[in-house]
Amino acid sequence: MVQHLMTHSGCQCGRSWDSTLYAMPRPGSCNCTGPHGIPWIFNRWSGGWKCGVHPHWTRSMQCVPKYMETMCSEMDNCNIQPRVRWLTFLRDPVSRFISEWQMVIRAGGGWGPEDATCGNFQPQLGYMERCRWDTVPKKVKRTGVATKNLTFEEFLSCPANLGYNRQTRMLADFSLLNCHNLTARNYKDMQRKMLQSAKDNLAKLDFFGLTEYQTKTQILFEKTFHVKFDVEFMNAHTIASSKYQDVTEEQLDKTRMHNQLDIQLYEFAQQLFLTRTRKFNISAKEKR
């Protein structure tokens, strides 16, 4: 079974996987099962949000094995222990952060401190004032009405913005960091350990791709898992240059400053991605 770890990279690869075999009018509508009734892919398109909306590494590692055990217990003659192959996708941190702002404007965003549980811990952000868009009730948030006038400056300036370094946090093992309790230890030390944890976990994954390199990512996936896609990978959320018009150079500098962990993680990912593509002799030439 393939488990897609979400990092909000903007890649539509999950749809490409499912579209190769099935039609998917909505999340959870793909009956992506193998010959033994075990799903071959575990993501929102194949099974819905079984582990919560956009689960991070720690929650996924706790949830997926339990879900598989429960699913197997409900099947007749289930004597197969499915092997889980973990994968994810990363994106240029500046583009990803701006894209998240646009998603919050459009649909209120899908996250909040209440969604970031880790084991028996809840995020400890009491020393920060929650961002305005995180205080909106979920039913109202999804309409985008309360956030349609959210400026990038406001989004960028909220100290409790969980969009900062989201990819690093999604891949880090919070059981090593006392979860989200940032007051429990030195902040810089916590950040250093969170980044190292994210790098270690990324390197352990069976596969990861980069949103900016769709063709290489698809070829690498096909060679890694010995499959062939009927539908080409695409990046439906690529930020056009026009979307940068309202973002100043000063704001871009602030974005880089607030997302330093993600930038370092992405640099590490690019080097590791290059190593893996070279292993399979994948050409450096690609239409991006």
pLDDT of 224 over the 70 cut: yes
Instruction: Determine whether 54 is an active site residue.
Output: yes
- Predicted local confidence at residue 11, as pLDDT: 52
Give residue 226's identity as a one-letter amino acid code: H
- Predicted local confidence at residue 240, as pLDDT: 46
Looking at residues 110-137, what average pLDDT do you find? 57
- Predicted local confidence at residue 67, as pLDDT: 77
Distance, CA of 223 to CA of 211 (rounded, Å): 18
Alpha-carbon dihedral 266, 269, 275, 277, rounded to 10 degrees? -90
- Predicted local confidence at residue 285, as pLDDT: 54
More confident residue, 176 or 209: 209
More confident residue, 18 or 146: 146
| Mean per-residue pLDDT of the chain | 75
What pTM did the predictor assign? 0.80
Query: What DSSP string describes 31-53?
Result: --B-TTS-BSEESHHHH-STT-S
Quick one: DSSP state of residue 87? Answer: E
Looking at residues 238-258, what average pLDDT do you find? 79
CB 104 within 8 A of CB 155: yes
Distance, CA of 244 to CA of 212 (rounded, Å): 17
More confident residue, 264 or 123: 264
- Predicted local confidence at residue 203, as pLDDT: 97
Query: Tens digits of per-residue pLDDT, 201-216?
Result: 999 999 999 999 999 9
- Predicted local confidence at residue 283, as pLDDT: 75
More confident residue, 175 or 136: 175
Domain boundaries defined on the chain: 2-279
Query: Tens digits of per-residue pLDDT, 41-57?
Result: 666 666 667 777 778 88
- Predicted local confidence at residue 125, as pLDDT: 46
- Predicted local confidence at residue 39, as pLDDT: 61
pLDDT of 127 over the 60 cut: no
Q: How many helices (H) and strands (E) does the chain have?
A: 11, 4
Distance, CA of 196 to CA of 230 (rounded, Å): 37
pLDDT of 93 over the 60 cut: yes
Q: Where are the alpha helices (DSSP H) in 134-236?
A: 138-141, 152-157, 166-171, 187-204, 214-225
Confidence category of residue 62, pLDDT binned at 50, 70, 90: confident
| Given the residues 54, 56, 180, 258, the one annotated as active site | 54
More confident residue, 134 or 193: 193
More confident residue, 59 or 141: 59
More confident residue, 78 or 188: 188
- Predicted local confidence at residue 264, as pLDDT: 98
Query: Tens digits of per-residue pLDDT, 3-40?
Result: 555 555 555 555 555 444 444 444 444 555 655 566 66
